[in-house]
Amino acid sequence: MRLDFRTARPQRRGESWDLDNLAKCTIDALEGALGARTWKGPRQVADHLVVHLQATKREVVGDESTGATIEVWSRESGDS
C-alpha cells in the first residue's frame, strides 16, 4: 500500500501533521478495499492484511489541493 499525503500549510507556529496519524486513520477508512476483520469483536477494517506500507507527506504547492493519493495492491496467495 502506498499513501502520499498533500497537507495544508501550517496556520500556526509548531503546527504539523503526524504521518503515522494520517496513515492510521486512512487505513481504518479503507474497509471497502481491505474488507472487514473476521472476529467476534466490534466491526473493524482488516488492517492486518497490510504487509507493506509506504507513506509520504508534503505541503501543497501553489494552488494544488490538499488530499491523498492511495494505491492498494493485492498479492495473491502463493505469490512471493
Q: CB neighbours of 38 closer than 8 A, spacing ≥ 6? A: 46
Is residue 43 domain-resident?
Answer: yes
Q: Is residue 59 part of a domain?
A: yes
What does the pLDDT average to over 48-54? 92
pLDDT grade, residue 80 (50/70/90)?
Answer: very low
- Asked whether residue 78 is domain-assigned, the answer is no
Residue from 70, 79, 78, 80 nearest 34 by CA: 70
The reported pLDDT for the residue numbered 77 is: 54
Q: How confident is the model at residue 76 (pLDDT cuts 50, 70, 90)?
A: low
Q: What is the model's pTM?
A: 0.81
Residue 46 structural domain: 2-71
Q: Which residues does residue 56 pair with via DSSP β-bridges, in sequence order? A: 4
Is residue 15 situated within a structural domain?
Answer: yes
Would residue 60 count as lying in a domain? yes
**What are the beta bridge partners of residue 70?**
3
pLDDT band at 64 (very low <50, low <70, confident <90, very high): very high
Domains contained in the chain, number: 1
- Alpha-carbon distance of 68 to 15, in angstroms, equals 19
| Residue 76: inside a domain | no
Average pLDDT, the chain: 89
